[in-house]
Amino acid sequence: MTESESLVYRVVPKCACSSIGQIMFHSDHGRYFDGDIHDLTEGLHKWSQDRSQSLIEDRVHKGGALTFTCVRNPYSRILSSFFDKIAGIQRNGKRYRGNLVPQLIQRYGIDVGSPENGFEFDQIASFRRFLLFARDTIRWRRPMEPDIHWSAMSGHISTFIVNGGRYDQIFFTEKFDEGMQKVLDAAATPVKVDVRNVPKFNESEGHGPKRAHKVSDYFDDLSRHLTWEIYKKDFQLFRYDFDDPDNKFPKGEVDLDEVHKKLGR
């Protein structure tokens, strides 16, 4: 939440959250945070900060702030999670979650290369094995609890509703400028922001291999079946095209009433 309490955002990992956080910061302070917005400890209210929780809760229940979130095509999102969190090197120069990648290499036969060999590996084969691992974590919670970066978007989004919140807007990463501007135009922010002039904030850029193939190449019949098993509700609620992995755009607008009804139970 912005300190001015004009905007409340439910973070969904791998859905432009770095850019959204920076825009929210700018809408209060007239400047961007110098660094990774995830490291920020002042200038925005975050649920992870004890002092912020009661303020956020109070504003959500009383109303008056524009509440929103952002979603992304499930095919692109799980691919991004793989290339950033599994194949990539993190900002601290280490692998994500310490022993996670060695565990995946041992248990699932995944190869992710290394900076020393230019991240040379069979991207398609390794991604498909990662997808099996992601399904195992989500369905059976083993060999570990599901990670926030590949948990279903509907699960993240539902917690806000179940705890008494209601979204004013949900927009698409694929139509980011249009959707984010609509949010800003509807909110009483201290500083006006033109999204067209916002620099790109991609905190995972440049820390790992580039995707070498089109999206559909990574998803054979089994991979698509697993993707549907994990993200069925995401495809349905947010109108993404399950039949064509290369069509990143949604097939329709989000029905907010349907989202609140189906995720509010």
* pLDDT per residue of the chain (265 residues) written in tens, 0 to 9: 999 999 999 999 999 999 999 999 999 999 999 999 999 999 999 999 999 999 999 999 999 999 999 999 999 999 999 999 999 998 888 999 989 999 999 999 999 988 888 889 999 999 999 999 999 999 999 999 999 999 999 999 999 999 999 999 999 999 999 999 999 999 999 999 999 999 988 766 557 799 999 999 999 999 999 999 999 999 999 999 999 999 999 999 999 999 999 999 7
Number of CB atoms found within 10 A of residue 59's CB: 20
Q: Is residue 204 helix, strand or coil?
A: coil
Report yes or no on 138 lying in a domain.
Answer: yes
Sign, Cα dihedral of 44, 49, 54, 57: positive
- Total number of domains in the chain: 1
Report yes or no on 164 lying in a domain.
Answer: no
Report yes or no on 241 lying in a domain.
Answer: no
Tokens, residue 2 = 């912005």
Cα(38)–Cα(110) distance, integer angstroms: 28
Domain that holds residue 98: 75-147+209-231
DSSP string, 61-119: HH--SEEEEEE--HHHHHHHHIIIIISSPPTTSS-TTTTHHHHHHHHH------GGGTS
Report yes or no on 133 lying in a domain.
Answer: yes
Report yes or no on 237 lying in a domain.
Answer: no
Q: Is the peptide bond before 74 cis (omega within 30 degrees of 0)?
A: no
Report yes or no on 107 lying in a domain.
Answer: yes
The pLDDT score that the predictor gives to residue 175 is: 97
Single-letter code of the amino acid located at 120: E
Tokens, residue 104 = 């995946």
Give φ, ψ of 150 to 5 degrees.
-125, 5
Buried/exposed 167-179: b ≥16 CB within 10 Å, e otherwise = bbbbbbbbebeeb
- Closest alpha carbon to 253 in 196, 185, 179: 179
Report yes or no on 137 lying in a domain.
Answer: yes
Stretch (H or E) spanning 69: strand 66-71
Edge-to-edge strand ranges of the sheet holding 66-71: 7-9, 66-71, 169-172
The pLDDT score that the predictor gives to residue 203 is: 60
Report yes or no on 93 lying in a domain.
Answer: yes
Residue pair 180/171 in contact by the 8 Å Cβ criterion? yes
